[in-house]
Amino acid sequence: MTPATTEAAAPEVSTDAPSGVATPASLFSAAPAAASVDDYGQYRALSASAVISLVIGAISVIALLDFWILKAVPALGVVLGLTALQRIRSRPDELSGAKQARIGLALSAFFLLASVGWGAFRYVNEVPEGYERISYEQLKNPDERMRNFASPQAMDLEGKRVFIKGYMFPPPHETGVTRFVLCRDNGDCCFGGQPPPSDMVFVELAPGLDTSYDRQLRHVAGTFHVANFQSSDVGKQVLYRLDADYIK
């Protein structure tokens, strides 16, 4: 007798199964795809510091104006941007907003550097040719007992062509102004303060030159004189006089 065949033939898998019906081959080959990365981004909070730094970065352009105090705006933006990035990096599963913080930081840093550079350029080039820059510190007598008298440094400036900046004390009329008092501080001159004599310079513009009153910082140049007299424009004692031929 011929021995019976002990090996059963392997079942054939039909390739003609209807679409959508799992075949034996697909049961072994198709395994459920596991998620490669768990995305929790939708559950993270947007960092408030990042948003604020972005807003401050956008408005930091105002630092280019002629006010040094405005440079604090981009400086604050830089601090907030760095703070936001540090917080986001330390709590990546809780906070988002790194992109906003980077943009805000970049804008703030740019306008901070640009404003400092532009301010330095203007400072160097704002003095008209032929004039010497002076400050109110030079006009202040170092002896407090002599505060109502001209300083030794001011005496040395007699007859020299100088340049100084300050704020206009409100004159009797606002247009066609030819004589006014220049003050060191806009708080004293514009809001009823009492500036010390060394912080005031009586200005008389050259014939044919006039200006209008405003509260902006003014640039004035001319011939400096020490002249103790009572200014009828402000009713105050004025130690110094400037015969000005330049005003801006």
Provide the whole-model pTM: 0.65
170: confidence class by pLDDT, cuts 50, 70, 90: confident
Q: What is the pLDDT of residue 227?
A: 83
Q: Which range of residues forms the domain containing residue 99?
A: 44-125
Instruction: Answer yes or no: is 169 within a domain.
Output: yes
Distance CA 46, CA 95 (A): 6
CA 191 vs CA 162, 170, 214: distances in Å? 27, 10, 13
Domain boundary residue among 61, 95, 125? 125
Same domain for 167 and 224:
yes
Question: By the 8 A CB rule, do 187 and 116 touch?
Answer: no
Same domain for 107 and 153:
no
Same domain for 74 and 121:
yes
- Structural domain tally of the chain? 2
63-77, 92-106, 107-121: range with lowest mean pLDDT: 63-77
At CA 141, angle to CA 123 and CA 155, rounded to 5?
Answer: 75
Q: What is the pLDDT of residue 18?
A: 52
Distance CA 2, CA 5 (A): 9
63-67, 167-171, 207-211: range with lowest mean pLDDT: 63-67
DSSP 3-state assignment of 36? coil
Residue keyed to tokens 């002629």: 66
Mean pLDDT of 185-193: 62
Summarised one tens digit per residue, pLDDT across range 212-241 is 999 889 999 999 999 877 666 666 678 999
Same domain for 182 and 206:
yes
| pLDDT > 70: percent of the chain | 77
Q: What is the pLDDT of residue 235?
A: 62
Domain boundary residue among 102, 125, 148? 125
* Sequence-distant (≥ 6) Cβ neighbours of residue 60 within 8 angstroms: 73, 74, 77, 107, 108, 110, 111, 112
Domain boundary residue among 125, 159, 189? 125
15-29, 93-107, 127-141: range with lowest mean pLDDT: 15-29
Q: What is the pLDDT of residue 40?
A: 52
Helix locations, the chain, DSSP H? 24-29, 48-59, 72-90, 98-125, 136-139, 152-156, 186-190
Which structure tokens are listed for 188? Answer: 């004293």
Percent helix / strand / coil, the chain, rounded to 5: 40, 20, 40
Same domain for 143 and 117:
no
- Is the pLDDT at 182 greater than 80, yes or no? yes
Same domain for 238 and 137:
yes
Of 95-109, 141-155, 184-198, give the range with the top mean pLDDT.
Answer: 95-109
